[in-house]
Amino acid sequence: MSDEPLRDPGGTGPGGPGRHWRPVTRVLLYLVLFLVLQLAVGLPALLVWAVLTGTNPLLLARQPGGAAELSLFVYACLAPVLVPLTVVYARWLDGKWPEALGARLPAGGGRAAARQAGVSLAAVAGVLGLWLAAAALPAELVYGGLADGFREGAGPLRGSGGGAALLGVLLAAFLVQGGVEEWVFRGYVFRTLRDRWSWASAAGASSLAFAVLHSLNPSVAPAGLVNTFLLGLVLAAVAELTGSLLAPVVLHGWWNFSLACLLSLPVSGARLFHLLDLEVRGPEAVSGGDYGPEGSWVLTGLLVPIVVALAVRVDRRGVAAGGAYSP
């Protein structure tokens, strides 16, 4: 790491005129930029989709899971545009380099990154396993084996082994989609507010913005918004503890992929190509209904103690560091 002040990932250093603006102003302007870019990239992305697949995206959007597939593709097209623009935006308005937004390995280098990625995968499996076990008590789990069409795949990947190949593509797509949202909400938004606010206030505000983004999802209900907010707090705490976006990106992408494609239930109101024929029948407060497990109050009961435990750990680390941020 360079000793040049501007490249100090823990500070802002001198920069453009934005250093005189309040963090909230810079965050709001950035979120507007994020929304505008989604619209600007979305239409050309749909045209590219039509050319590559030979399908009408407007018709696909009306089919089950079609809108979710298109959304993942738009995010894949958005990433190479949003990331460099964010770098320019943060450099000019905040005087920050990408490292200050979490675009770096955690302390400890590659070994720490591999360990955090492994822990992230295990944590997602553990939480979803506990939810499934808890939901099975008042609800009914209906399992029908492999999903219809899994062995054949779909679209350009139709054929022997096409299902496994398509799951691989969807995993990559979810990691990109999760990476974009982490870059926005735990990268720029959280880190910018963190410059002036406590970690809890910055985490709360960035998680609220994260929940608002998901309020437009199909079949969203109060439990879904509460759980999205709590998941945002979990991701912000992990970003604070590690000083890197690597673990939040893995957590976010693997969570969505595990729900939608492995557990084979709706994720944030959307169904996609999946591995199993599985259904949770029971009260919506337990199953989450059409929104999926994220709309379940049972998941809320699992997430609250996790948030509390992470908050205690962050606070203890802050005390040990004399109240200063120490990744």
Convert the pLDDT of each residue in 148-198 to its tens digit: 877 776 666 665 566 788 899 999 999 999 999 999 999 999 999 999 999
Is residue 3's pLDDT more than 70? no
Q: Is residue 327 part of a domain?
A: no
Asked whether 49 and 57 are in contact (CB, 8 A), the reply is yes
Q: What is the pLDDT of residues 30-85, one digit of tens each?
A: 999 999 999 999 999 999 988 888 888 888 778 777 888 889 999 999 999 999 99
For 76-111, the pLDDT digits (tens) are 999 999 999 999 999 999 999 999 999 999 988 999
- Work out the burial of residue 65: count CB atoms within 10 Å of its CB; fewer than 13 is exposed, 13-18 middle, 19 or more buried: middle
- 96 within domain boundaries: yes
How many structural domains comprise the chain?
A: 1
Separation CA 151–CA 61 (nearest Å): 24
Instruction: Assign 21 a pLDDT band (cuts: 50, 70, 90).
Output: confident
- Read off the pLDDT band of 320 (50, 70, 90): low
Q: pLDDT confidence of 273, banded at 50, 70, 90?
A: confident
Query: Mean of the per-residue pLDDT values for the chain?
Result: 87
Q: What is the 3-state secondary structure (H, E, C) of 4-57?
A: CHHHCCCCCCCCCHHHHCCHHHHHHHHHHHHHHHHHHHHHHHHHHHHHHHCCCH
For the record, the structure tokens of 231 come out as: 């998941």
- Single out the residue of 9, 321, 32, 46 nearest to residue 194, CA to CA: 9
Is residue 326, in this structure, part of any structural domain at all?
no
Spatial separation of the C-alpha atoms in residues 9 and 102, rounded to whole Å: 8
Q: How far apart are CA 192 and CA 315, in angstroms?
A: 19
Cα–Cα dist 186/76, whole Å = 19
Could you write out the DSSP letters of every residue in 161-213? THHHHHHHHHHHHHHHHHHHHHIIIIIIIHHHHHTTS-HHHHHHHHHHHHHHH
Domain span at residue 45 reads 5-320
Q: Provide the token pair at 43.
A: 């239409």
220-236 pLDDT per residue, tens:
889 999 999 999 999 99
| Residue 325 maps to a domain | no
Q: Which of 133-147, 149-163, 305-319 has the lowest mean pLDDT?
A: 149-163
What is the pLDDT at residue 311? 96
Angle of CA points 294, 281, 285, to nearest 5°: 45
d(CA 184, CA 190): 8
